[in-house]
Amino acid sequence: MSKVEHAATYEDILALPEHLVGELIDGELFASPRPSGRHERAAGRIYMRLRGAFDDGDGGPGGWWIVFEPELHLGRDVLVPDIAGWRRETMPVFPDAAFFDVPPDWVCEVTSPSSTRLDRAKKLPKYARYGVGHAWIVDPVAFILEVYRRAGDVYSLIATHEGADVVRAEPFEAVELSLSALWLRQA
């Protein structure tokens, strides 16, 4: 991940090579490489499980839009969480646009060595300030899922799950999530 030292604009994101994901936070451009295999597996498995149960209503209650790597335009910031979800009451109509300007109800960031500081120190506080009710931080190297709930303009850590736990994590307690399915373990 690299940080550009001038007042960045959306044009700077558009000028990035395709292999980089650009985000604007407080006028700074952050460019991150595409994720590793561990990162991709964890994010993909979470997305598939939640999309089926909560977006499609297959084996779960439905009532959500679950989106992989959405581009969020919130205030002057442009953020790209690994996964985000909107209750259908929050966003009744799925937008036909390249980005979302309605804050999601939940975000998930899967950390990697190059993104941990950005995800935790820059993006997590922004999500809270924009009113995102729940956040998950997933560490596919340490095999940990942290579950956060918004309290005012900050998050409170409400649960930490690890390893092969089978969990019902807010705000998706209606279904079980087997953490062992998320991890790419090396033989």
Give the tens place of pLDDT for each residue, 83-123: 999 999 999 999 999 999 999 999 999 999 888 999 999 99
**CA–CA distance, 48 with 54 (Å, rounded to integer):** 10
Beta strands 106-110; 134-139: pairing state: parallel
Average pLDDT in the 43-62 region? 94
Question: What is the rounded CA–CA span in Å between residue 60 and residue 52?
Answer: 8
Using pLDDT thresholds of 50, 70 and 90, give the confidence band for residue 36: confident
Per-residue pLDDT band for 52 (boundaries 50, 70, 90) equals very high
Amino acid 4: pLDDT: 46
Domains of the chain: 36-181 (3.90.1570.10)
User: Mean pLDDT over residues 4-25, rounded?
Assistant: 89
- C-alpha–C-alpha distance, residues 37 and 159, integer Å: 26
Assign 3-class secondary structure to 36-95: CHHHHHHHHHHHHHHHHHHHCCCCCCCCEEEEECCCEEECCEEECCCEEEEECCCCCCCC
- Cα separation of 86 and 105, whole Å? 5
Residue with tokens 């931080």: 137
What per-residue confidence (pLDDT) applies to 7?
A: 85
pLDDT confidence band for 62 (50 / 70 / 90): very high
What integer is the mean pLDDT of 46-58?
95
Instruction: Say if CB 66 and CB 82 are below 8 A apart.
Output: no
pLDDT confidence of residue 6: 64
pTM of the model: 0.93
State the pLDDT at residue 145: 98
